[in-house]
Amino acid sequence: MSYLGEFRSNWRALAAAGLGLGGGAALHIYSLSVFAPPLLQEFGWSKAQFALVGLIGMLTLVTVPVAGRLADSFGVRRTAAFGVIGVPLCFVAYSMMRGSFTEFMAITIALTAIGATTTSSVYSRLVAERFVKARGLALAVVVCGPAGVSALGIPLLTYVNDHFGWRAGYQSVAAFSLCLGLLALAMMPRPVATGRSAARVPGRILHDYRQVAGRSAFWVIVAAMLLCNLAAALPASHMKLLLLDKGASSAVASVIISSYSTGVIIGRFACGLSLDRFPPHIVAAIAMGLPAIGLFILGSPLDATVALGAAVLLLGLSQGAEGDLAAYLVMRFFGIQVFSSTLGLVTAAIGSASAIGALVMGATLKVTDNFAIYLYICTAATFVGSLLFMLLGRPPEKEPVLAPQGA
């Protein structure tokens, strides 16, 4: 089948994955900042209290690998259906809150746990098992789903909140999430046979994880992703503060930050196309190594606007590439049988890296009151992590199949 022919033949799987991701747990991440002001104003919660919500993200270190395992064991449709129903119910629960911050945190914990079944570890399996020649680009299209939904939906959500109140806002998000989720389930094609029965017994699970952990490629990918993501906390929360410290005005800093989002989009598609044409370990080393240059510039005394903009753009390019790389490398080195299980573990490593990076940033800021030391640490970590990808070498020509249990 030709490169473009794969898109013609598998458009339903591509659309289902994109819609499912866009209507899943990602809606909470993108909409939280819209709901924060009215919630704090009505209930009198402090900003410090609300910041605690970020800690709940650590729960994904457990829930995402579990969701991935469920997708490998029972299929994407059954696994995602749990989240398609559960996530909208959580948004409805938000709309019924009466002011307790504990209640808000409890709902968020439930949403994080249930929503793990609507993440890329689950939905990207639909694409990975059907696309071969165009797999890189197809994965890039899928992971753009949440961003695309956010770009269209956030202005509408803001309008609903401003004119009808935040409760109506949460109810509209619930309805939107349910519609996209059900549409994704309806569009999913029949499962692709993997050549073995579903792994539903403890012995099979332990056997699979032992084989995954026994491959050096797993530890190389995990270590490389962990090192390359130590700086992930910077664009998420402190980028504007850093740019202001570098002497940029608030307006200029906002423009520079917008280049990050531009870089994410460009990096996503550039990486996807490159993975379909060049050795993936080389693409990974280059794509994930770019931020080392940007981080070094940000840590240096250099404060020219063009240099700062270029540095932030490089961070965005790598962030965009990351979503493609993780899924693509897992598929090429581990195969479809344990795709979601392995991708869940890699995703957890990426999440833990962000948390570790945030702790390092906090510790260095407390001692030096500037970002330079943190940025140089991240520069070195990113450089080493990108080189680790070269240890992978070329993936096998045929996608791996796990040895039978007891073999």
Q: Report if residue 293 sits inside a domain.
A: yes
* CA 16/CA 126 separation, integer angstroms: 8
> Which residues are CB-contacts of 81 (< 8 A; sequence separation ≥ 6)?
185
Q: Which two tokens stand for residue 104?
A: 């808000």
Q: Report if residue 118 sits inside a domain.
A: yes
**Domain end: 126, 158, 187, which one?**
187
Lowest mean pLDDT among 168-182, 282-296, 358-372: 358-372
Q: Report if residue 341 sits inside a domain.
A: yes
Asked whether the beta carbons of 77 and 185 are under 8 A apart, the reply is: yes
Cα separations (Å) of 81 from 116, 177, 388, 405?
Answer: 12, 12, 37, 29
Asked whether the beta carbons of 180 and 20 are under 8 A apart, the reply is: yes
* CA 169/CA 163 separation, integer angstroms: 10
Please tell me whether residues 284 and 330 are part of one structural domain: yes
Closest CA to 15 of 174, 151, 149: 149
| pLDDT value, residue 198 | 42
The more confident residue out of 257 and 18 is 18
Helix, strand, coil fractions of the chain, as percent rounded to 5? 80, 0, 20
Please tell me whether residues 131 and 209 are part of one structural domain: no
The more confident residue out of 241 and 182 is 182
Cα separations (Å) of 365 from 212, 273, 315, 358, 375?
Answer: 38, 39, 21, 10, 11
Q: How confident is the model at residue 51 (pLDDT cuts 50, 70, 90)?
A: low
Asked whether the beta carbons of 133 and 2 are under 8 A apart, the reply is: yes
| pLDDT value, residue 15 | 94
Please tell me whether residues 176 and 276 are part of one structural domain: no
Q: Report if residue 197 sits inside a domain.
A: no
The more confident residue out of 278 and 206 is 278
Coil, strand or helix at 144: coil
Q: What is the pLDDT of residues 331-343, one digit of tens each?
A: 999 988 889 999 9
Please tell me whether residues 115 and 146 are part of one structural domain: yes
| Mean pLDDT of the 93-111 span | 94
What CATH number does the domain containing 313 carry?
A: 1.20.1250.20
Q: Strands, E, within 251-407: which ranges? A: none
**What's the number of domains the chain is made of?**
2
Burial of 92 (0-12, 13-18, 19+ CB in 10 A): middle
Closest CA to 238 of 352, 347, 371: 371
Closest CA to 346 of 229, 227, 218, 232: 218
Residue 102: give the domain boundaries.
3-187
Sign of CA dihedral 22, 26, 31, 33: negative
Gyration radius of the chain's alpha carbons: 21
**Domain end: 187, 210, 234, which one?**
187
Query: Which H or E run includes 287?
Result: helix 280-299
Please tell me whether residues 153 and 45 are part of one structural domain: yes
Asked whether the beta carbons of 72 and 199 are under 8 A apart, the reply is: yes
Q: Report if residue 193 sits inside a domain.
A: no
Q: How confident is the model at residue 367 (pLDDT cuts 50, 70, 90)?
A: confident
Please tell me whether residues 164 and 234 are part of one structural domain: no
> Which residues are CB-contacts of 268 (< 8 A; sequence separation ≥ 6)?
140, 143, 144, 320, 321, 323, 324
| Mean pLDDT of the 73-92 span | 95
The more confident residue out of 407 and 327 is 327
Please tell me whether residues 56 and 173 are part of one structural domain: yes
- Residue 352's identity, in one-letter code, is S
* CA 124/CA 76 separation, integer angstroms: 9
Q: Report if residue 275 sits inside a domain.
A: yes
| pLDDT value, residue 197 | 42
The more confident residue out of 315 and 151 is 315
The more confident residue out of 259 and 313 is 313
Asked whether the beta carbons of 238 and 51 are under 8 A apart, the reply is: no
* CA 181/CA 175 separation, integer angstroms: 10
Please tell me whether residues 151 and 257 are part of one structural domain: no
Burial of 2 (0-12, 13-18, 19+ CB in 10 A): exposed
**Domain end: 156, 187, 218, which one?**
187
| pLDDT value, residue 64 | 92
Q: Report if residue 194 sits inside a domain.
A: no
Q: Report if residue 366 sits inside a domain.
A: yes
Question: In degrees rounded to 5, what are phi and psi of residue 127?
Answer: -85, -45
Please tell me whether residues 176 and 207 are part of one structural domain: no
166-187 vs 76-95: helix axis angle to the nearest 10? 170
Scan for tokens 């994407």, then name that residue: 76
pLDDT at 102 over 90: yes
* CA 100/CA 38 separation, integer angstroms: 14
Please tell me whether residues 178 and 261 are part of one structural domain: no
Please tell me whether residues 183 and 308 are part of one structural domain: no
Please tell me whether residues 164 and 114 are part of one structural domain: yes
pLDDT at 83 over 80: yes
| Mean pLDDT of the 255-272 span | 84
* CA 310/CA 13 separation, integer angstroms: 36
* CA 407/CA 388 separation, integer angstroms: 31
